[in-house]
Amino acid sequence: MNIVETVAEVRNQVKAWRKEGLTVGLVPTMGYLHEGHQSLIARACQENDRVVVSVFVNPTQFGPNEDLASYPRDLQHDAALCESTGADLIFHPTPEEMYPKGFCSFVDMDVLTKELCGLSRPVHFRGVCTVVSKLFHIVQPDRAYFGEKDAQQLAVIRRMVLDLNMDIEIVGCPIVREADGLAKSSRNTYLSPEERKAALVLSRSIFVGKELAEQGETDAKKLVQKMTEIIEAEPLAKIDYVKVVDLMTMQQIETLDRPFLAAMAVYIGKTRLIDNFMMQAGGAVQ
């Protein structure tokens, strides 16, 4: 497995694979890989002849007061995980390679990005859409893999691919959890032991909400209320949002009569964590 830093090197490698008639999967990541990422890479390896993993902490998707500088990085660990899972190439560009001097073109989106995380992270999805578009143009994969933990990001990318006629299949992969329920996240490393325990309110609230919906609750307000109560009982937790939205449009709904996403962002101390479940009306998606 090779690690390359330049767009030209990725293009040369992918061109050579294409000449051999091979299919290519892309797993975009910001590194500090865990079992959640590993499940995306494993799925990409099953479904494609060759797999590229991008490892790039993308500055344009962080707001001014967010954790860009402190975001955890460990390329050696990432390379070992990619290699043992079967990836063929890591693309690890510098910020200057992705955003050279004079860079001023962005991909932005309305509606879907104005709810949930978009409300408290106003520049986030513009940065995500821009970097993911760039990665799609650089690698030109047949398929690209994203985790359902970032459910809004997945919906935004599906919409971008549709709206901008990108010929790439977007594959969403289920949330991977720790044994006690906490959704795997690179940001979990920020948590102190006490905060790590407190962070379990997110998954507890998700499981209760999911059970309520499976039992036939159709009132979105009641679902949100129950999920909120569980989080509010934890003194270290501060809610950013707990919402139920239409799975396609990310707009809030009142009745659970269509595919929906129940999503939350919660601060545990200074660490902002997200979790969610998705459901078709009357049956779980995940």
Residue closer to ligand PAF, measured from CB, 30 or 89: 30
- The C-alpha atoms of residue 145 and residue 53 are separated, in whole angstroms, by 10
Instruction: Write down the least CB distance from residue 14 to ligand PAF, Å.
Output: 18
Residue closer to ligand PAF, measured from CB, 88 or 150: 150
3-state secondary structure of 259: coil
Which of 53, 109, 112, 128 forms a contact with ligand PAF (CB under 6 A)? 128
Which of 88, 150, 195, 275 forms a contact with ligand PAF (CB under 6 A)? 150
The tokens describing 147, both together, are 């985790």
- What is the signed CA dihedral for 37, 42, 44, 48, rounded to 10 degrees? 160
**Largest pairwise CA distance in the chain:** 58
Q: Does 78 bind ligand PAF (CB under 6 A)?
A: no
Catalytic site positions: 37
Residue closer to ligand PAF, measured from CB, 107 or 212: 107
Q: Are 235 and 244 in contact, with CB atoms under 8 Å apart?
A: no
Map tokens 């990432």 to a residue. 78
Interface of this chain with ligand PAF, residues 25 to 44, rule: CB under 6 A: 28-30
Which of 132, 220, 256, 268 forms a contact with ligand PAF (CB under 6 A)? 132
HSE-up (13 A, CA, CB side) for residue 87: 26
Binding interface with ligand PAF (CB under 6 A): 28-30, 58, 61, 128, 131-132, 150, 153
